[in-house]
Protein backbone atom coordinates (compact mmCIF):
# COMPACT_ATOMS: atom_id res chain seq x y z
CA UNK A 1 0.00 0.00 0.00
CA UNK A 2 1.13 3.52 -0.79
CA UNK A 3 0.49 6.56 1.35
CA UNK A 4 1.62 9.87 0.00
CA UNK A 5 1.25 12.38 2.77
CA UNK A 6 1.47 12.76 6.47
CA UNK A 7 -0.65 10.22 8.26
CA UNK A 8 -3.63 11.06 10.43
CA UNK A 9 -4.23 9.04 13.60
CA UNK A 10 -7.35 7.55 12.04
CA UNK A 11 -5.14 6.04 9.31
CA UNK A 12 -2.37 4.99 11.67
CA UNK A 13 -4.69 2.79 13.75
CA UNK A 14 -5.64 0.84 10.61
CA UNK A 15 -2.00 0.13 9.77
CA UNK A 16 -0.97 -1.39 13.07
CA UNK A 17 -1.34 -5.03 12.04
CA UNK A 18 0.50 -4.44 8.75
CA UNK A 19 3.21 -2.64 10.70
CA UNK A 20 3.59 -5.46 13.21
CA UNK A 21 3.72 -8.00 10.34
CA UNK A 22 6.40 -5.88 8.68
CA UNK A 23 4.16 -5.64 5.63
CA UNK A 24 4.37 -1.87 5.05
CA UNK A 25 6.52 -0.50 2.26
CA UNK A 26 9.70 1.14 3.58
CA UNK A 27 8.40 4.70 2.98
CA UNK A 28 5.12 3.97 4.70
CA UNK A 29 6.87 2.33 7.58
CA UNK A 30 8.94 5.46 7.98
CA UNK A 31 5.84 7.70 7.96
CA UNK A 32 4.16 5.44 10.46
CA UNK A 33 7.15 5.60 12.79
CA UNK A 34 7.52 9.38 12.35
CA UNK A 35 3.90 9.85 13.32
CA UNK A 36 4.39 7.80 16.47
CA UNK A 37 7.28 9.96 17.65
CA UNK A 38 4.97 12.94 18.10
CA UNK A 39 1.68 11.22 18.91
CA UNK A 40 1.07 9.87 22.42
CA UNK A 41 -2.41 8.66 21.46
CA UNK A 42 -1.09 6.45 18.66
CA UNK A 43 1.83 5.28 20.80
CA UNK A 44 -0.71 4.16 23.37
CA UNK A 45 -2.78 2.52 20.68
CA UNK A 46 0.16 0.54 19.31
CA UNK A 47 1.26 -0.42 22.79
CA UNK A 48 -2.26 -1.58 23.64
CA UNK A 49 -2.48 -3.65 20.47
CA UNK A 50 0.75 -5.36 21.50
CA UNK A 51 -0.72 -5.90 24.96
CA UNK A 52 -3.89 -7.27 23.38
CA UNK A 53 -1.87 -9.76 21.34
CA UNK A 54 -0.06 -10.88 24.51
CA UNK A 55 -3.37 -11.25 26.37
CA UNK A 56 -4.92 -13.23 23.48
CA UNK A 57 -1.87 -15.49 23.57
CA UNK A 58 -2.96 -16.72 26.99
CA UNK A 59 -6.37 -17.93 25.85
CA UNK A 60 -7.09 -21.60 26.50
CA UNK A 61 -6.71 -23.85 23.51
CA UNK A 62 -8.25 -27.07 24.79
CA UNK A 63 -11.38 -28.46 23.29
CA UNK A 64 -14.51 -28.99 25.39
CA UNK A 65 -13.95 -32.15 27.46
CA UNK A 66 -16.81 -34.11 25.87
CA UNK A 67 -15.46 -33.48 22.39
CA UNK A 68 -11.96 -34.53 23.49
CA UNK A 69 -13.49 -37.73 24.85
CA UNK A 70 -15.32 -38.44 21.58
CA UNK A 71 -12.19 -37.83 19.54
CA UNK A 72 -10.19 -40.08 21.79
CA UNK A 73 -12.76 -42.87 21.38
CA UNK A 74 -12.60 -42.45 17.63
CA UNK A 75 -8.82 -42.65 17.80
CA UNK A 76 -8.91 -45.85 19.86
CA UNK A 77 -11.43 -47.32 17.42
CA UNK A 78 -9.16 -46.47 14.48
CA UNK A 79 -6.13 -47.97 16.22
CA UNK A 80 -7.98 -51.19 16.92
CA UNK A 81 -9.31 -51.48 13.36
CA UNK B 1 11.42 -40.93 4.38
CA UNK B 2 9.43 -37.94 3.23
CA UNK B 3 8.92 -36.89 6.82
CA UNK B 4 12.49 -35.60 6.70
CA UNK B 5 10.91 -32.43 5.34
CA UNK B 6 9.15 -31.88 8.64
CA UNK B 7 10.41 -30.15 11.74
CA UNK B 8 11.69 -32.65 14.33
CA UNK B 9 8.63 -31.99 16.55
CA UNK B 10 6.19 -32.58 13.69
CA UNK B 11 8.09 -35.67 12.55
CA UNK B 12 7.77 -37.17 16.04
CA UNK B 13 4.05 -36.43 16.20
CA UNK B 14 3.46 -37.88 12.74
CA UNK B 15 5.40 -41.04 13.60
CA UNK B 16 3.42 -41.28 16.83
CA UNK B 17 0.06 -40.90 15.08
CA UNK B 18 1.02 -43.51 12.50
CA UNK B 19 2.02 -45.91 15.25
CA UNK B 20 -1.30 -45.37 17.03
CA UNK B 21 0.39 -43.73 20.01
CA UNK B 22 -2.29 -42.18 22.20
CA UNK B 23 0.07 -39.63 23.76
CA UNK B 24 0.90 -38.23 20.32
CA UNK B 25 -2.79 -38.06 19.47
CA UNK B 26 -3.62 -36.25 22.71
CA UNK B 27 -0.75 -33.82 22.19
CA UNK B 28 -1.94 -32.90 18.70
CA UNK B 29 -5.57 -32.65 19.80
CA UNK B 30 -4.63 -30.37 22.71
CA UNK B 31 -2.46 -28.12 20.58
CA UNK B 32 -4.68 -27.74 17.54
CA UNK B 33 -8.13 -29.00 18.48
CA UNK B 34 -9.59 -25.65 19.48
CA UNK B 35 -8.20 -23.94 16.40
CA UNK B 36 -9.68 -26.70 14.22
CA UNK B 37 -13.05 -26.07 15.84
CA UNK B 38 -12.72 -22.34 15.11
CA UNK B 39 -11.99 -23.08 11.47
CA UNK B 40 -15.00 -25.39 11.22
CA UNK B 41 -17.20 -22.66 12.69
CA UNK B 42 -16.32 -20.38 9.77
CA UNK B 43 -18.15 -22.61 7.32
CA UNK B 44 -21.10 -24.14 9.18
CA UNK B 45 -24.07 -22.73 11.00
CA UNK B 46 -23.68 -23.94 14.57
CA UNK B 47 -21.23 -25.07 17.19
CA UNK B 48 -22.83 -28.53 17.17
CA UNK B 49 -22.27 -28.97 13.43
CA UNK B 50 -18.73 -27.61 13.82
CA UNK B 51 -18.01 -30.26 16.46
CA UNK B 52 -19.28 -32.92 14.06
CA UNK B 53 -17.01 -31.52 11.38
CA UNK B 54 -13.98 -31.74 13.68
CA UNK B 55 -14.77 -35.38 14.38
CA UNK B 56 -15.20 -36.12 10.70
CA UNK B 57 -11.98 -34.26 9.92
CA UNK B 58 -10.08 -36.36 12.47
CA UNK B 59 -11.26 -39.52 10.75
CA UNK B 60 -9.77 -38.04 7.58
CA UNK B 61 -6.56 -37.17 9.41
CA UNK B 62 -6.10 -40.70 10.71
CA UNK B 63 -6.96 -42.19 7.33
CA UNK B 64 -4.54 -39.86 5.58
CA UNK B 65 -1.65 -39.78 8.04
CA UNK B 66 0.06 -42.78 6.38
CA UNK B 67 0.25 -40.84 3.12
CA UNK B 68 1.07 -37.43 4.62
CA UNK B 69 4.22 -36.36 2.84
CA UNK B 70 5.23 -33.37 4.91
CA UNK B 71 5.08 -30.86 2.07
CA UNK B 72 3.38 -28.53 4.53
CA UNK B 73 3.73 -28.42 8.30
CA UNK B 74 1.52 -30.81 10.26
CA UNK B 75 -0.70 -27.99 11.53
CA UNK B 76 -1.27 -26.52 8.08
CA UNK B 77 -2.22 -29.97 6.83
CA UNK B 78 -4.62 -30.50 9.75
CA UNK B 79 -6.29 -27.14 9.22
CA UNK B 80 -6.67 -27.72 5.51
CA UNK B 81 -8.42 -31.01 6.18
CA UNK B 82 -10.82 -29.43 8.64
CA UNK B 83 -11.44 -26.47 6.31
CA UNK B 84 -12.22 -28.80 3.40
CA UNK B 85 -14.44 -31.02 5.52
CA UNK B 86 -16.28 -27.96 6.80
CA UNK B 87 -16.68 -26.47 3.32
CA UNK B 88 -18.25 -29.71 2.07
CA UNK B 89 -20.60 -29.69 5.03
CA UNK B 90 -21.32 -25.99 4.59
CA UNK B 91 -22.33 -26.61 0.98
CA UNK B 92 -24.63 -29.42 2.10
CA UNK B 93 -26.11 -26.97 4.59
CA UNK B 94 -26.28 -24.53 1.64
CA UNK B 95 -24.45 -21.97 3.66
CA UNK B 96 -22.36 -19.59 1.62
CA UNK B 97 -18.63 -19.55 2.17
CA UNK B 98 -17.79 -16.48 4.25
CA UNK B 99 -14.96 -14.87 2.32
CA UNK B 100 -16.96 -13.10 -0.34
CA UNK B 101 -17.33 -10.57 2.44
CA UNK B 102 -14.92 -10.25 5.29
CA UNK B 103 -17.52 -10.85 7.93
CA UNK B 104 -18.61 -7.33 8.73
CA UNK B 105 -17.86 -3.68 8.53
CA UNK B 106 -16.91 -3.26 4.85
CA UNK B 107 -14.49 -0.36 4.60
CA UNK B 108 -15.35 1.12 7.94
CA UNK B 109 -12.58 1.85 10.38
CA UNK B 110 -11.91 -0.38 13.34
CA UNK B 111 -11.94 2.51 15.83
CA UNK B 112 -15.11 4.48 16.64
CA UNK B 113 -15.02 7.50 14.24
CA UNK B 114 -16.31 9.74 17.04
CA UNK B 115 -12.94 9.43 18.69
CA UNK B 116 -11.31 11.42 15.88
CA UNK B 117 -11.57 15.09 14.92
CA UNK B 118 -14.08 15.59 12.07
CA UNK B 119 -13.19 16.59 8.51
CA UNK B 120 -14.46 20.19 8.81
CA UNK B 121 -12.06 21.06 11.59
CA UNK B 122 -8.38 21.65 12.12
CA UNK B 123 -6.34 18.40 12.30
CA UNK B 124 -9.04 16.15 10.84
CA UNK B 125 -8.53 12.48 11.57
CA UNK B 126 -6.42 13.14 14.66
CA UNK B 127 -7.45 11.91 18.06
CA UNK B 128 -10.25 13.80 19.79
CA UNK B 129 -10.50 11.12 22.49
CA UNK B 130 -7.08 9.41 22.49
CA UNK B 131 -6.52 6.07 24.21
CA UNK B 132 -5.27 6.48 27.77
CA UNK B 133 -2.45 4.32 29.08
CA UNK B 134 -3.67 1.18 30.87
CA UNK B 135 -2.69 1.02 34.50
CA UNK B 136 -1.62 -1.04 36.20
CA UNK B 137 -0.43 -2.95 33.15
CA UNK B 138 -0.03 -6.19 35.06
CA UNK B 139 -3.82 -6.41 35.18
CA UNK B 140 -3.74 -7.14 31.47
CA UNK B 141 -2.41 -10.61 32.15
CA UNK B 142 -4.57 -11.36 35.19
CA UNK B 143 -7.01 -14.30 35.15
CA UNK B 144 -10.16 -12.11 35.22
CA UNK B 145 -8.83 -10.24 32.21
CA UNK B 146 -8.46 -13.55 30.39
CA UNK B 147 -12.23 -13.98 30.65
CA UNK B 148 -12.80 -10.56 29.10
CA UNK B 149 -10.52 -11.59 26.22
CA UNK B 150 -12.24 -14.96 25.77
CA UNK B 151 -15.69 -13.32 25.73
CA UNK B 152 -14.54 -10.76 23.18
CA UNK B 153 -13.15 -13.51 20.94
CA UNK B 154 -16.36 -15.50 21.33
CA UNK B 155 -18.38 -12.52 20.04
CA UNK B 156 -16.29 -12.09 16.86
CA UNK B 157 -17.63 -13.13 13.46
CA UNK B 158 -16.37 -16.70 12.79
CA UNK B 159 -13.73 -15.84 10.18
CA UNK B 160 -12.15 -13.21 12.43
CA UNK B 161 -12.31 -15.61 15.35
CA UNK B 162 -10.55 -18.35 13.39
CA UNK B 163 -7.78 -16.05 12.15
CA UNK B 164 -7.02 -14.44 15.53
CA UNK B 165 -6.98 -17.91 17.13
CA UNK B 166 -4.53 -19.21 14.57
CA UNK B 167 -2.25 -16.16 14.57
CA UNK B 168 -2.27 -14.96 18.16
CA UNK B 169 -3.18 -18.08 20.13
CA UNK B 170 -1.55 -20.82 18.08
CA UNK B 171 1.31 -18.83 16.61
CA UNK B 172 0.71 -19.46 12.90
CA UNK B 173 2.52 -17.09 10.53
CA UNK B 174 0.36 -15.09 8.13
CA UNK B 175 1.60 -17.33 5.32
CA UNK B 176 0.50 -20.45 7.17
CA UNK B 177 -2.97 -19.03 7.75
CA UNK B 178 -3.27 -18.05 4.08
CA UNK B 179 -2.26 -21.56 3.01
CA UNK B 180 -4.56 -23.32 5.43
CA UNK B 181 -7.62 -21.21 4.67
CA UNK B 182 -6.99 -20.19 1.04
CA UNK B 183 -7.00 -16.53 1.95
CA UNK B 184 -5.12 -13.73 0.28
CA UNK B 185 -2.52 -11.98 2.39
CA UNK B 186 -4.65 -8.82 2.42
CA UNK B 187 -7.84 -10.55 3.53
CA UNK B 188 -5.99 -12.43 6.20
CA UNK B 189 -4.62 -9.17 7.56
CA UNK B 190 -7.97 -7.40 7.44
CA UNK B 191 -9.61 -10.23 9.40
CA UNK B 192 -6.80 -10.28 11.96
CA UNK B 193 -6.76 -6.51 12.33
CA UNK B 194 -10.52 -6.28 12.88
CA UNK B 195 -10.39 -9.08 15.40
CA UNK B 196 -7.52 -7.53 17.37
CA UNK B 197 -9.13 -4.07 17.29
CA UNK B 198 -12.35 -5.47 18.79
CA UNK B 199 -10.51 -7.34 21.52
CA UNK B 200 -8.48 -4.20 22.28
CA UNK B 201 -11.65 -2.19 22.51
CA UNK B 202 -13.18 -4.71 24.97
CA UNK B 203 -9.99 -4.51 27.03
CA UNK B 204 -10.06 -0.72 26.97
CA UNK B 205 -13.58 -0.81 28.38
CA UNK B 206 -12.44 -3.21 31.09
CA UNK B 207 -9.12 -1.53 31.97
CA UNK B 208 -10.71 1.87 32.37
Q: Is A14 on the interface with B (CB under 8 A)?
A: yes
Asked if residue A2 has pLDDT above 60, the reply is: no
> By the 8 A CB rule, do B182 and B115 touch?
no
Task: Give residue-wise pLDDT tens across range A15-66.
Answer: 999 999 999 999 999 999 999 999 999 999 999 999 999 999 999 888 889 9
Integer Cα distance of A47 and A37 in angstroms: 13
Q: Is A40 on the interface with B (CB under 8 A)?
A: yes
Is residue A28 in a domain? Answer: yes
Residue ranges and CATH numbers for the domains of chain B are 8-92 (1.10.1740.10), 100-206 (1.10.10.10)
Cβ neighbourhood burial of A12 (10 Å; 0-12, 13-18, 19+) = buried
The CATH number that applies at residue A58 is: 1.10.10
Identify the domain containing residue A70 by its residue range.
Answer: 9-80
> By the 8 A CB rule, do B193 and A14 touch?
yes
Half-sphere exposure (Cβ direction) of B146: Cα atoms closer than 13 Å: 9
Q: How many domains does chain A have?
A: 1
Whole-complex ipTM: 0.90
Q: What was the pLDDT predicted at B106?
A: 59
Is residue A3 in a domain? Answer: no
* B110-132 mean pLDDT: 94
Mutant choice from B115, B200, B202, B206 vs A, greatest count of A C-beta within 10 A: B200
Q: Do the Cβ atoms of B131 and A45 come within 8 Å?
A: yes
Torsion of CA A21, A57, B168, A33, to 10 degrees: -20
Q: How confident is the model at residue B133 (pLDDT cuts 50, 70, 90)?
A: very high
Q: How confident is the model at residue B41 (pLDDT cuts 50, 70, 90)?
A: very high
Is residue A4 in a domain? Answer: no
pTM, entire model: 0.89
Cβ within 8 Å of residue B142, ≥6 positions away: none
Q: How confident is the model at residue B140 (pLDDT cuts 50, 70, 90)?
A: very high
Q: How confident is the model at residue B101 (pLDDT cuts 50, 70, 90)?
A: very low
Q: What was the pLDDT predicted at B100?
A: 40
Amino acid sequence: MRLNRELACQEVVELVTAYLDDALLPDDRERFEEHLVFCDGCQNYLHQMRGTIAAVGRVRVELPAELQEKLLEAFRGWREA
Amino acid sequence: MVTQLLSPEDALLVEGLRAGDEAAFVAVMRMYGRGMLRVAEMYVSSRAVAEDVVQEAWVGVLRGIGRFEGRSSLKTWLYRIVANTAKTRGVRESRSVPFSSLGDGGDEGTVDPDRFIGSGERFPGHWAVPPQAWAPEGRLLADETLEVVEDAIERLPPAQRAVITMRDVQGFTSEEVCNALDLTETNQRVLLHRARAKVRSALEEYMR
